[in-house]
A and B are shown apart, each in its own frame.
Chain A
Amino acid sequence: MKINFFKIFLRTFLLQIFWNYRKMQNIGRLFVVLPVLKNLYKDNPDMLKRAIQRNLDAFNSNPVMASYSLGAIIKQEEKIAKTEPVRLAGEERELRAISISTANTVASIGDRLFWATLKPFSLLLLIITLYTVQVYTFKNLETPTERVFAAIGAVIFSLFVYNVPALIVRYKGLKDSYNGTEDNFYGLIKVNWNRIIYALKTTGQILTFGIFVYSLYINFAGEGLSADLLTRTALLVSFLVLSIWTKKLNIPNIYLYIVATIIFCAASFIS
Chain B
Amino acid sequence: MLELIIACAALALLEMDTTYLGQFLFSRPACTGAIMGYICGDFFLGLQLGVFTELLFIDFVPVGGFVPPSGAICAGIGVILSTYFNMDIYFSFFIGLILSLLFAFVEKALRKYRSKLLPSIEKQLIEGSLTPSSLIAQSFLVEYMAVFIFVLIMITLFGPAFCYIDGNIPKSLHIAFKFSYFLVPWIGLSMLFISFSTKPKVD
Contact = CB atoms under 8 A, between A and B. Distances in A.
Interface of A: 13-14, 16-24, 27, 30-31, 34, 45, 49, 52-53, 56, 60, 63-64, 107, 111, 115-117, 119-124, 126-127, 130, 135, 137-138, 141, 143, 148, 151-152, 155, 158-159, 162-163, 166, 198, 200-202, 204-205, 208-209, 211-212, 215, 232, 235-236, 239-240, 243-244, 247, 250, 252-254, 256-258, 260-261, 264-265, 267-269, 271
Given A21-B111, A163-B24, A256 B59 contact: no
Contacts, number: 220
A20 B31 contact: no
Q: Which of B55, B89, B127, B170 is the most central at the interface, judged by chain A CB atoms within 10 Å of its CB?
A: B55
A198 B57 CA distance: 22
B31 A158 contact: yes
Contacts of B175: 264, 268
A239 B98 CA distance: 20
Contacts of B184: 257
B56 A141 contact: no
Contact-residue size bin, chain B (C-beta under 8 Å from the other chain): 35 or more
A22 B139 CA distance: 16
Nearest to A107: B63
Given A257-B187, A268-B172, 4 more contacts: A31-B132, A120-B58, A137-B48, A239-B183
Interface in B8-67: 19-26, 28, 30-31, 34, 38, 43-45, 47-48, 51-52, 54-65
Q: Which of B89, B117, B180, B188 is the most central at the interface, judged by chain A CB atoms within 10 Å of its CB?
A: B180
6 contacts: A18-B121, A49-B128, A120-B58, A137-B52, A138-B185, A260-B180
Interface in B157-203: 170, 172-173, 175-177, 179-180, 182-198, 203
